[in-house]
Structure 1
Amino acid sequence: MGDILVGTCSWTDPALVRSGWYPKGQRDAEGRLRYYAERFPVVEADASYYALPQERVSRLWAERTPDGFTFDVKAFSLLTGHPTRTAVMPDGLPPDAGDDGVLDAVWARFAEAVAPLRDTGRLGSVLFQFPPWFRPGPRAEQMLARTARRTEGWPVAVEFRHPDWWRPGQAEATCARLADLGMAAVAVDMAQGLPASIPPVTPVGDPRLAVVRFHGRNTSWGRGSKEDRFRHTYDDDELSGWLPRLRELAGQVERVHVLFNNCCGDASVRAAERMSELLREARSSV
């Protein structure tokens, strides 16, 4: 049975910092991470999607967390085909994804930045969350193949946001392709019945890792502000409903990362705390 690690998709989200979850005296950058790492074994670093991470910062993360702590690092927007602002590009390079020279420079900077986490055994995965318009087909296949070549030797997890990847008739092929590329599959919990809803599947692409990201069940997904999209408080029934599925995943892979992305106030950390409690209770009752 693989390990199930529970955490959140950020420890620096402004709403979380304002919520009061961090105690006085531990609200600076170092204090927040140390406090978080005392309570959870895994976290997703999402700031690296918005701007290229820095090697110096990753080294500090490694120094401020205990052995065994795990970071999932979200891939920079340009590397997943998302629009990217010139202001966050290195050395004034244009955000032209069709320019191999620009991509070479960005990939090199990203690899340099995550090296301290890899070197200290703290890198759980690099999360490639592809955009909603990234759908199955030849162009997507080429992008996945290029990503696999660029990340050879890295732990990689892939989240598809176009529902066709996990539709009946396509899901098996999606799992098989991720397995061929050595990439872990990301399952999601989200509101169902929307045009952009990802089916509630728990795929396995890599026997080393599976990731489940809990986005909340707000029906404003795909529109409105960040607060609108992610505002959701998970109740015990919603969390308990996942316990058999998480145990099933843990029976197929070495590790399962369970990450809460309902990032409004302290909702994500409270859900992660409660999910951890429910998992402990389930283990003790076996």
Structure 2
Amino acid sequence: MDIRVGTASWTDPTLIKSKRFYPPGCNSAEARLRFYSSQFPLVEVDSSYYSMPSGSNSVLWVERTPPGFTFNIKAFRLFTGHQTPRDMFPKDMQPALPQNGKKNLYYKDMPEEFRAELWRRYFEAIAPLADAGKLGAVHFQFAPWVTSGPDGRAHVEHCADVMADRFLMAVEFRNRSWFDNAHADSTLAFERDRKLVNVIVDEPQGSANSIPAVWEVTNPALALVRLHGRNHETWNIKGATAASDRFNYDYQNDELSKLAVRIREIAGIVAQTHVVFNNNMEDQGQRNARTLIEILDQQSGGVTRT
């Protein structure tokens, strides 16, 4: 089994401030990535959701990580249907943005040629990772208002068309309509038909922007498990100033042991399995990732390490 465990981001401010993961003197961007990649074989890049990724950063990430290290990279927020502040677009493109009086813009607001240029730049920026064999999946976390209805499905189809034959596309929905009783089977069939990786989530349940953990493989190349924590009180917290406020959860060993059983089961039917801890308050994700690796090692001895 090829199971790779890591965390979402290695630069969260609360992680650095906690001083419990990085050793003394590990203060630069280069030193932190080199240390992180000596501890885990996988990381998820979240900064590419907030603003367009940089090709120069991709080159540095390749140089600063060992052979076999894997980056999963999130899709830019505009592509996933989220509201996008004007200052999050590339500076040279900002003067050409639609002048519609809106502070935030959406994909539908963009002229076709503007969209095409953003996609081109995005692909160009992550190409160094792919060329070095260090790109795992491009992770599309669609907005909660992207439903399984005709408009939502059409947008996901459009993204799949643009991504086709370029990079592996993983899909995480944030609207429960995709996996309700009426749509779960058709959603999985759609993902299989388009070779999209179904993202298996562990997250608080009961709200419209929560989906259940669907332990199904839709692309034999990869299974992707994302662990958001189980903190119901903070899942839809208002006024959060950082993602760590929302995903503040420390998995207990018994919870990780139960998850490990499911992870091993799914890993038995795919080429590779990625497990990403997105609980990012201080060093929660890193500690939980290390514990999960130990549990998986105890169960099977088959966890991929750097």
Match for residue 161 of structure 2 among 136, 139, 149: 149
Q: Secondary structure at the match of 1:207?
A: coil
1:176 matched to which residue of 2? 189
Letter in 2 for 1:197: S
Aligned length: 284
Partners in 2 of 1:139 and 1:252 — Cα distance?
A: 33
Please tell me the residue identity of whatever aligns with 1:67: P
CA contact (8 A) 1:125 1:156 kept: yes
State how far apart, in whole Å, the 2-side matches of 1:251 and 1:7 are.
19
After superposition, the Cα gap between the structure-2 partners of 1:59 and 1:182, relative to the gap in structure 1 and judged at 3 Å, is same
Between the aligned partners of 1:227 and 1:66, the Cα distance in structure 2 is 28
Deviations 1:222-279 (A, max 9, x none): 2232344211110001111112211111122111110001100000100101001100
Instruction: Give the deviation of 1:192 after TM superposition.
Output: 2.5
Name the residue aligned to 1:205.
218
Partner of 1:34: 34
1:107 is matched with 119
- Decide which moves more: 196-205 or 176-185: 196-205
Deviates most, 218-227 or 13-22? 218-227
**SS of the residue 1:32 aligns to:** helix
Q: Which residue in 2 is equivalent to 1:217?
A: 230
Partner of 2:145: 133
Q: Distance in 2 between matches of 1:132 and 1:252?
A: 30
Show the counterpart of 1:259: 276
TM-score, normalization by structure 1: 0.95
- Matched-pair contact (CA < 8 Å) for 1:74–1:128: yes
Q: How far off is 1:186 after superposition?
A: 0.3
Match of 2:100 in 1: none
Q: CA RMSD in A?
A: 1.5
Q: Say which SS state the counterpart of residue 276 (structure 2) adopts.
A: strand
Q: Which moved more, 1:158-167 or 1:263-272?
A: 158-167
Question: Following the alignment from structure 1 to structure 2, what is the Cα–Cα distance between the partners of residues 231 and 63?
Answer: 32
Contact 2:245–2:281, Cα closer than 8 Å, also in 1: no
Equivalent in the alignment of 2:291: 274
The 2-side partners of 1:70 and 1:284 are apart by 20
Could you list the per-position Cα deviations for residues 179-213 of structure 1 after superposition, in whole angstroms to 9, with x for gaps in the alignment? 11111010111122344332122122111111111
Rounded Cα–Cα distance in structure 2 between residues aligned with 1:116 and 1:252: 29
Alignment-derived partner of residue 97 in structure 1: 107
8 Å contact 1:127–1:156 — kept in the other structure? yes
Does residue 43 (structure 1) correspond to residue 34 (structure 2)? The answer is no
The 1:265–1:79 alpha-carbon spacing in structure 2 relative to 1, beyond 3 Å, is: same
Contact 1:218-1:228 within 8 A present in 2 as well = no
Structure 1 runs of 4+ off > 6 angstroms? none
Q: Secondary structure at the match of 2:61?
A: helix
Q: Which residue number in structure 2 is paired with residue 159 of structure 1?
A: 172
- Give 1:65's aligned residue: 65
Alpha-carbon separation, structure 2, partners of 1:25 and 1:227: 24
Alignment check: 8 A CA contact 2:175 2:208 kept: no
How far apart, in 2, do the equivalents of 1:195 and 1:241 lie? 26
Q: Is the contact made by 1:96 and 1:102 (CA closer than 8 Å) also made in structure 2?
A: no
The offset of 1:33, in angstroms, is 0.4
1:77 aligned counterpart, secondary structure: coil
Q: Deviations over 1:91-139 (max 9, x none)?
A: 2142452311111111011001000001001000000000111110211
Displacement of 1:164: 1.7
Task: Name stretches of at least 5 consecutive residues in structure 1 with no aligned partner.
Answer: none
Which residue identity is paired with 1:146? H
Which stretch of structure 1 is more off in the superposition, 91-100 or 139-148? 91-100
Equivalent-residue separation in structure 1 for 2:86 and 2:64 (angstroms): 31
2: distance between equivalents of 1:228 and 1:57?
27
Cα distance, 1:13–1:126 mapped onto 2, change above 3 Å: same
Give the aligned partner of residue 16 of structure 2.
Answer: 17
Unaligned segments of structure 2, at least 5 residues: 98-104
- Identity, % of aligned positions: 44
Partner Cα distance (2:276, 2:106) in 1: 32
- Alpha-carbon separation, structure 2, partners of 1:140 and 1:205: 19
Q: Find the counterpart in structure 2 of residue 4 from structure 1.
A: 3
2: CA distance, partners of 1:74 / 1:6: 17
